[in-house]
C-alpha cells in the first residue's frame, strides 16, 4: 500500500504541483502517512519547492529531515544557487562539512564553487580546490569547469587557464567557461583564439558560446573574425536561432558594417524586439540617423512594441537630426514614468532635448527623474555645456558632490567642453588639474583633446602645441584636429600646415585633411601645390565628405546637400534665397569668398557659397514654417564663416530665431547676433 501511495505522491509532486499550496498539501499527506523518512520522496519535495522559488520553505523541510544524505544536500544547495541564494548555499555546505558521515561529491563542488564565485569568496574557493584534490575529483570535467568559472569570475585567469589545460576531456561547457572568463576581463582577442581552439578540437559550440564570442568581436571591432564566425554559423546551421542571429546583427553594427547587419536581419525568420533594437541603434550610432528612423517605423508596422533600447536608438537618431517634433511623438509611445524611473531612457531623453537645443526641457527631465545615477548627471552637464549654459553645468557638478556622487572621466569631458564653448581658460585649467589631484581621475586622451581645443580656440596655440608634446600618450587625430581648429580660427597657416602633415600621417585615408591642406595652399595663393594635393585625391579615388544639413518641418526631416536640386520645392527654395540675398546686401552683407578657396572668379565663388546646405535648409524652413516657430538645422560638417555671417543677418531681417548645430556646437541666432564663440 505504501508503495502505491509513494508512487502517487511522487507523481503529484513531479507533475501536479504548480503552486506552493499544492506542495504543502503533498507534504502534509507525506507526514500523515509516515513517509518522511523516504529520501526519494523528500528529495522530490525539496526540488519541487525550489523550482517554485520557495527557498525558505525548502530550507525548513530540509532542517526537519532527521538524517539527510548527500543527495538531499546537493538538491538543496543546487536549488539555493539557482535561486541566487548564495549565502544560504554556502551556509548549508558549511553545516554539511560538520557531519562526518556526509562527504561532498562531484555534484556538490560545482554549485558551491558557483556560489563562491558570485560572492567573491576566494578563501572558500581555494579551500574547495584543495578538497577537490584530496577527494580525487581533480580530473572530473564538471568539477574542473566549476573551478575554471570560480577563478575566472575572481580575476585569477592564470589559475583558471591552468585548471582548464589539465582537463583531459574538455566539453563545450568548460571551453565556454574559459572563453567567458577572458572576455569578462577584456582579453577578447585571446577569447576568439580559444574559440578557434575549440573548433580545432572538434567540439561543437552551443548558442551561448557563439553569443559570447560574437560579443568579444564587437568589443574589439574585430570584423574579420566576426565574418569568419558568421561563415561558420551559416555552414553549420546556427543562424536559425534568434539569439545568435541578433548577436550577429549587433556585432556587425558595433563593427560599423551596416550592410552586413541588414543582410543578417533580413534573413532572420523570427525577429523579436531585441534584434529590431540592435539594428536601430546600429544605424543611429553609425551616422545613418534617417535609416534608423525608417527601421523604427518598419518595426511599428510589424506591431512590435519598442523596448528601452529601441527608444534610445530612435531618440539618438532624432537628436542627430535635430528632429524635436519626431522625438516628442516617440516619447508618447512609452509610459512617462518609465522615462523618469529608467536612467537609460532618461539619459537618452536628456541628450535628445539638449542636442535639439531645448535645454530647458532637458533640465526639466533631469529634475523630474526619480533615479539619478552618474550617467544621468553626466548627460545634463554635457547638455548644458553644449548649449552654452556653462554656469548651470558647473552648478550640476556641485550638486553631484553634495549627493556624494563621485565624478568620472565623462563628467570632466562635459565640464571641459563647457569651458571651451565659453572660452573659460582658467576654469578649464583648474578642472583639468583637479581631475587627478582632487578626484583621482586619470586624464585620458579625450581630456587632453578638450584642453588643446580650449587653449587653441583662445589663441594660445603655442601652449596647446606644448601640451600635446607633454602628453603621456601619442596624440590622435582628434587632438591634432583640435589644434587645427585653433589655427584656422586665428589664421596661423604655418602651424596649420604642420598639423595637417601629422593628421595625414595618422589618417592617410581621410580626404578632409588633404582638402584642408589644399585650402591652406589656395589661401596663400600657392595654386600649384593646391592643385597637386587635389590631383592626388583623384588618383587615390578619395572624395571629400559632402556637406549635409537636416531640418524638421511638421515631424518630417528634410535633407539638403550643397547645390541640392532634388527637393520638390527646389524652385521656391532658390527663389527665397535670391530674395534673401537682396535683403542681406541692403543690410550690409558681402559674401566672404575666402571660404571658397579655389582659383576661380569672385562671381563663381559667390555662387558656391550661396548654395551651401545650411543656407538651403534655412530657406526651406522660412517658406514652410510660421514666424513663431524656431528653425532648427543640423549640419554634419562645420558651418563655414560665410554661412555663419549670412544666417546671423537672416535672423535679423526675418526676425526669426534660428538654431544650427554642427559637430555638437550650437549657433543660436537671434536678432542678428549669435551665442557661439566660433567666429570672433
Q: Evaluate whether 574 touches 640 at the Cβ level (below 8 Å).
A: no
CA distances 535 to 265, 347, 504, 515, Å, are: 41, 46, 16, 11
The pLDDT-based confidence of 602 (bands split at 50, 70, 90) is very low
Angle CA 455–423–597, to nearest 5: 70
Q: List Cα–Cα distances, 33 to 4, 5, 38, 44, 203, in angstroms.
A: 12, 9, 11, 16, 50
Rounded Cα distance between 353 and 363, Å, is: 9
CA 11 to chain centre: 50
Lowest mean pLDDT among 321-325, 518-522, 614-618, 651-655: 518-522
By CB neighbour count within 10 A (0-12 exposed, 13-18 middle, 19+ buried), where does 60 fall? exposed
**How far is the C-alpha of 380 from the C-alpha of 122, rounded, in Å?**
40
The tens digit of pLDDT for each residue in 563-579 reads 888 999 999 999 998 89
pLDDT at 487: 86
Rounded to an integer, what distance in angstroms lies between the CA atom of residue 42 and that of residue 27? 9
Angle at 575 (CA atoms; ends 574, 581), nearest 5 degrees: 85
Q: Which of 178, 117, 119, 122 is nearest to 150 (CA)?
A: 117
Distance CA 183, CA 180 (A): 5
Q: 293 with 267: CB under 8 angstroms?
A: no
Q: Which helix (H) or strand (E) holds 285?
A: helix 273-285
Residue 2 predicted with pLDDT over 80: no
pLDDT band at 8 (very low <50, low <70, confident <90, very high): low
Round to whole Å and give the CA distance between 654 and 34: 94
Q: Please tell me the distance from the alpha carbon of residue 594 to that of residue 597, in angstroms, as a whole number.
A: 6
For the chain, domain boundaries: 449-540, 550-674
448-497, pLDDT tens digit by residue? 999 999 999 999 999 999 999 999 999 998 899 899 888 877 878 888 88
**Sequence-ordered list of residues with C-beta below 8 angstroms from that of 547, at least 6 positions apart, any chain:** 561, 562, 612, 613, 614, 635, 636, 637
| pLDDT given at position 14 | 59
Q: How far apart are CA 227 and CA 427, in angstroms?
A: 48
Collapsing DSSP to helix, strand or coil, 35 comes out as coil
The answer to whether residues 502 and 510 touch, using CB atoms and an 8 Å cutoff, is: no
**Which SS3 state, helix, strand or coil, does residue 672 take?**
coil
Does residue 185 sit in helix, strand or coil? coil
Report the C-alpha gap between 192 and 226 in whole angstroms: 9
Nearest to 487, CA basis, from 514, 465, 511, 471: 465
Strands of 217-298 (E only): list them: none
- Tens digit of pLDDT for each residue in 324-336? 999 999 988 888 7
Task: Yes or no: say if 283 and 316 are a contact pair by the CB < 8 Å rule.
Answer: no
Q: How far apart are CA 131 and CA 119, in angstroms?
A: 19
C-alpha–C-alpha distance, residues 669 and 644, integer Å:
9
Other C-beta atoms closer than 10 Å to the C-beta of 609 total 19
Burial status of residue 3 (CB atoms within 10 A of its CB: 0-12, 13-18, 19 or more): exposed
pLDDT-derived band at 3 (thresholds 50, 70, 90) equals low
CA–chain centroid gap for 173, Å, is 29
Query: Hey, which residues does 673 pair with through a beta bridge?
Result: 670
| Residue the block writes with cell 541628450 | 351
Establish how many alpha carbons lie within 13 A of residue 348's alpha carbon, considering only the half-sphere containing its beta carbon. Answer: 24
> Given pLDDT bands bounded at 50, 70 and 90, which one contains residue 597?
very low
**Residue 497 forms beta bridges with which residues?**
none
Q: What percent of the chain clears pLDDT 90, i.e. is strictly above it?
A: 58
Burial per residue of 300-327, b for 16 or more beta-carbon CB atoms within 10 angstroms, e otherwise: eeeebebebbbbbbbbbbbbbbbbbbbb
Q: Lowest mean pLDDT: which of 209-213, 443-447, 503-507? A: 503-507
Judged by DSSP in three states, 87 sits in: helix
Given pLDDT bands bounded at 50, 70 and 90, which one contains residue 374?
very high
Residues in the chain, overall count = 680
Alpha-carbon 148 to chain mean position: 30
From the list 56, 48, 4, 53, the residue with the least C-alpha distance to 27 is 48
> What confidence tens digit (pLDDT) does each residue in 136-186 have?
898 888 999 999 999 998 889 999 999 999 998 899 999 999 999 999 998
Classify residue 642 as left (phi > 0), alpha (psi -120 to 50) or beta: alpha
Specify whether the CB–CB gap between 541 and 509 falls below 8 A: no
Q: DSSP 3-state helix, strand, coil percentages of the chain (rounded to 5)?
A: 70, 5, 30
Reported as half-sphere exposure (CB side, CA atoms, 13 A), residue 318 has a value of 30
Backbone angles phi, psi at 317, to 5 degrees: -65, -45
Give the model's confidence band at 604: pLDDT under 50 very low, under 70 low, under 90 confident, else very high: very low
- With 70 as the cut, is the pLDDT of residue 607 above it? no
**Residue 680: pLDDT band with limits 50, 70, 90:** very low
Say if residues 324 and 552 touch (Cβ distance below 8 Å).
yes
User: Of 75-79, 153-157, 169-173, 535-539, which gets the smallest average pLDDT?
Assistant: 535-539
Taking residue 167's Cβ as centre, other Cβ atoms within 10 Å add up to 21
The fold of the 449-540 domain, in CATH, is 1.25.40
Strands 556-561 and 548-553: antiparallel
- Side-chain-side CA neighbours of 85 within 13 Å: the count stands at 18
pTM of the model: 0.81
Q: How far is it, in rounded angstroms, from Cα 447 to Cα 443? A: 6
C-alpha 499/C-alpha 598 separation (Å) is 21
Amino acid at each position: 500500500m505504501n508503495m502505491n501511495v509513494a508512487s502517487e505522491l511522487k507523481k503529484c509532486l513531479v507533475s501536479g504541483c504548480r503552486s506552493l499550496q499544492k506542495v504543502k498539501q503533498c507534504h502534509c499527506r507525506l507526514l500523515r502517512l509516515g513517509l518522511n523518512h523516504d529520501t526519494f520522496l523528500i528529495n522530490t519535495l525539496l526540488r519541487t519547492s525550489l523550482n517554485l522559488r520557495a527557498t525558505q520553505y525548502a530550507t525548513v523541510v530540509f532542517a526537519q529531515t532527521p538524517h539527510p544524505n548527500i543527495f538531499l544536500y546537493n538538491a538543496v544547495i543546487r536549488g539555493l544557487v539557482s535561486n541566487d541564494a548564495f549565502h544560504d548555499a554556502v551556509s548549508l555546505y558549511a553545516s554539511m562539512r560538520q557531519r562526518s558521515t556526509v562527504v561532498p561529491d562531484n555534484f556538490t563542488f560545482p554549485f558551491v564553487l558557483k556560489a563562491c564565485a558570485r560572492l567573491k569568496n576566494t578563501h572558500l574557493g581555494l579551500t574547495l580546490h584543495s578538497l577537490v584534490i584530496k577527494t580525487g575529483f581533480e580530473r572530473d570535467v564538471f568539477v574542473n569547469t566549476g573551478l575554471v568559472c570560480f577563478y575566472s569570475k575572481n580575476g585569477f585567469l592564470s589559475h583558471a587557464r591552468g585548471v582548464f589545460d589539465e582537463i583531459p576531456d574538455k566539453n563545450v561547457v568548460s571551453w565556454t567557461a574559459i572563453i567567458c572568463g577572458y572576455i569578462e576581463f577584456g582579453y577578447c582577442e585571446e577569447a576568439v583564439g580559444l574559440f578557434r581552439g575549440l573548433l580545432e578540437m572538434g567540439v561543437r559550440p552551443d548558442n551561448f558560446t557563439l553569443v559570447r564570442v560574437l560579443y568579444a568581436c564587437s568589443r574589439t571591432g574585430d570584423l574579420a573574425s566576426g565574418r569568419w564566425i558568421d561563415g561558420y554559423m551559416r555552414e553549420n546551421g546556427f543562424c536559425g536561432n534568434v539569439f545568435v542571429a541578433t548577436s550577429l546583427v549587433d556585432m556587425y553594427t558595433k563593427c560599423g558594417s551596416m550592410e552586413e547587419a541588414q543582410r543578417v536581419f533580413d534573413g532572420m525568420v523570427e525577429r523579436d524586439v531585441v534584434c529590431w533594437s540592435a539594428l536601430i541603434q546600429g544605424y543611429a550610432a553609425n551616422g545613418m540617423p534617417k535609416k534608423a528612423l525608417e527601421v523604427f517605423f518598419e518595426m511599428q508596422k510589424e506591431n512590435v512594441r519598442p523596448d528601452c533600447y529601441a527608444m534610445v536608438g530612435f531618440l539618438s537618431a532624432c537628436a542627430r537630426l535635430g528632429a524635436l517634433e519626431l522625438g516628442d511623438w516617440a516619447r508618447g509611445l512609452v509610459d512617462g514614468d518609465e522615462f523618469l524611473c529608467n536612467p537609460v531612457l532618461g539619459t537618452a531623453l536628456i541628450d535628445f532635448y539638449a542636442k535639439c537645443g531645448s535645454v530647458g526641457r532637458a533640465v526639466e527631465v533631469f529634475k523630474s527623474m526619480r533615479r539619478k545615477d552618474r550617467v544621468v548627471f553626466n548627460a545634463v552637464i554635457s547638455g548644458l555645456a553644449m548649449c552654452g549654459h556653462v554656469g548651470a553645468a558647473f552648478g550640476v557638478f556641485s550638486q553631484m558632490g553634495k549627493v556624494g556622487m563621485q565624478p568620472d572621466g565623462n563628467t570632466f569631458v562635459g565640464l571641459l567642453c563647457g569651458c571651451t564653448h565659453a572660452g573659460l581658460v582658467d576654469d578649464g585649467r583648474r578642472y583639468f588639474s583637479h581631475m587627478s589631484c582632487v578626484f583621482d581621475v586619470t586624464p585620458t586622451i579625450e581630456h587632453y583633446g578638450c584642453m588643446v581645443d580650449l587653449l587653441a580656440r583662445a589663441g594660445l596655440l603655442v601652449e596647446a602645441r606644448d601640451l600635446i608634446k607633454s602628453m603621456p600618450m601619442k596624440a590622435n587625430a582628434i587632438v591634432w584636429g583640435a589644434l587645427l581648429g585653433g589655427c584656422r580660427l586665428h589664421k596661423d597657416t604655418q602651424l596649420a600646415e604642420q598639423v595637417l602633415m601629422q593628421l595625414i600621417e595618422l589618417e592617410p585615408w581621410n580626404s578632409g585633411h588633404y582638402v584642408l591642406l589644399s585650402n591652406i595652399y589656395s589661401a596663400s595663393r600657392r595654386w600649384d601645390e593646391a592643385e597637386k594635393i587635389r590631383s592626388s585625391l583623384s588618383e587615390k579615388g578619395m572624395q571629400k565628405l559632402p556637406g549635409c544639413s537636416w531640418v524638421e518641418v511638421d515631424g518630417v526631416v528634410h535633407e539638403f546637400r550643397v547645390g541640392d536640386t532634388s527637393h520638390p520645392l527646389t524652385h521656391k527654395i532658390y527663389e527665397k534665397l535670391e530674395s534673401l540675398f537682396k535683403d542681406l546686401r541692403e543690410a550690409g552683407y558681402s559674401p566672404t569668398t575666402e571660404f571658397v578657396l579655389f582659383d576661380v572668379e569672385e562671381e563663381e565663388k559667390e555662387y558656391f557659397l550661396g548654395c551651401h546646405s545650411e543656407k538651403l535648409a534655412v530657406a526651406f524652413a522660412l517658406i514652410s514654417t510660421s514666424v513663431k516657430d524656431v528653425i532648427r538645422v543640423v549640419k554634419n560638417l562645420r558651418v563655414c564663416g560665410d554661412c555663419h555671417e549670412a544666417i546671423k543677418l537672416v535672423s535679423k531681417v526675418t526676425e526669426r530665431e534660428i538654431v544650427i548645430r554642427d559637430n555638437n556646437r550650437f549657433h543660436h541666432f537671434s536678432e542678428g547676433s549669435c551665442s557661439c564663440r566660433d567666429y570672433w
